[in-house]
């Protein structure tokens, strides 16, 4: 039985996780006002990986990855989870509102379930299909007025969806690999560094000095994405998963709500009945997935 302090700590951790995770889209939009997408992405990954690797190897004295197999796993995971997922994500955020960006990210549990079934040739249950349909319908409904008001484009929505597919594939790949005794910070630090290095040639190829102004807004966005989002939110998520994996997923329900609230207050993005109904449809899809997980438990 949890004490009141433990319950308070758990609720506080979940709330901070949802807010930090949901703030990534707004912070990305702010950073993109001052720089090109790959410039901001590479800077974020460099800072985040340097901090994580410094902590895991310098302070915690964790072992370095060793063996060709582990380095291959880190490369593939970094390619899927950093280079493709966040590379495509930052491109999409040039043409998609911050609220929509958070809403798309929230659908990852549904996509992971669907891709996992297809990838490993498992039977696709009706609940999975229905949850996917609800999420897609919700995202399209929420995007409709934003598309009309130039807060979203077909290219941006398509690129964002591809980034979610890459993230889901990366999550499935990570869960299926044997990482030995590597600390989670070691894995995340190296995969973030590898993913950023893979994006470096694209940053150099498309670099335009006149399109980059490294002002306080840019530094603030990069620092926020690197520390509160990439490190603190990730550690809080691991804490929630360790406490109760099924209950942890419930905090994902708060992310799209927090995301649209942050976008409305911080970015002055419009809200309409399309937004609310779209979010409710996505939450309904997530709820079905959550019920399936609880039933399996």
At residue 123, the pLDDT reads 78
Query: In the beta sheet, which residues pair with residue 96?
Result: 152
Residue 294, Cβ neighbours under 10 Å: how many?
Answer: 12
pTM: 0.86
Q: What tokens appear for 61 in the block?
A: 């004295």
At residue 2, the pLDDT reads 63
Q: Is the dihedral of CA 51, 53, 57, 60 positive or negative?
A: positive
At residue 294, the pLDDT reads 63
At residue 204, the pLDDT reads 95
Q: Angle, to 10 degrees, between the axis of helix 154-176 and the axis of helix 85-92?
A: 160
Q: Which helix (H) or strand (E) holds 176?
A: helix 154-176
Query: In the beta sheet, which residues pair with residue 143?
Result: none
What whole-number distance in Å separates Cα of residue 195 and Cα of residue 46?
10
Q: What tokens appear for 195 in the block?
A: 């993913």
Q: Is the dihedral of CA 28, 33, 37, 40 positive or negative?
A: negative
Which residue positions in the chain have pLDDT lower than 50?
A: none
At residue 273, the pLDDT reads 81
What whole-number distance in Å separates Cα of residue 74 and Cα of residue 80?
10
Residue 151, classed as helix, strand or coil, is coil
């Amino acid at each position: 039985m949890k004490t009141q302090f433990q319950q308070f700590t758990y609720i506080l951790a979940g709330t901070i996780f949802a807010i930090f995770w949901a703030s990534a889209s707004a912070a990305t939009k702010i950073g993109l006002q001052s720089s090109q997408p790959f410039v901001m992405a590479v800077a974020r990954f460099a800072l985040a990986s340097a901090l994580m690797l410094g902590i895991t190897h310098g302070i915690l004295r964790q072992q370095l990855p060793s063996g060709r197999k582990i380095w291959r796993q880190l490369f593939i995971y970094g390619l899927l989870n950093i280079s493709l997922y966040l590379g495509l994500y930052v491109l999409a955020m040039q043409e998609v509102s911050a609220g929509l960006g958070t809403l798309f990210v929230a659908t990852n549990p549904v996509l992971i379930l669907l891709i996992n079934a297809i990838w490993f040739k498992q039977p696709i249950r009706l609940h999975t299909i229905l949850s996917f349909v609800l999420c897609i319908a919700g995202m399209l409904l929420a995007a409709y007025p934003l598309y009309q008001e130039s807060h979203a484009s077909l290219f941006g929505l398509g690129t964002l969806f591809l980034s979610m597919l890459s993230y889901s594939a990366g999550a499935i790949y990570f869960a299926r690999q044997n990482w030995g005794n590597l600390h989670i910070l070691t894995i995340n630090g190296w995969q973030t560094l590898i993913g950023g290095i893979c994006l470096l040639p694209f940053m150099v190829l498309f670099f335009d000095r006149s399109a980059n102004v490294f002002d306080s807004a840019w530094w603030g966005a990069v620092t926020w994405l690197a520390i509160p989002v990439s490190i603190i939110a990730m550690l809080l998520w691991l804490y929630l998963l360790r406490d109760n994996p099924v209950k942890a997923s419930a905090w994902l329900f708060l992310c799209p709500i927090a995301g649209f609230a942050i976008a409305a207050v911080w970015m002055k993005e419009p809200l309409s009945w399309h937004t609310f109904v779209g979010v409710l449809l996505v939450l309904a899809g997530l709820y079905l997935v959550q019920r399936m997980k609880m039933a399996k438990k």
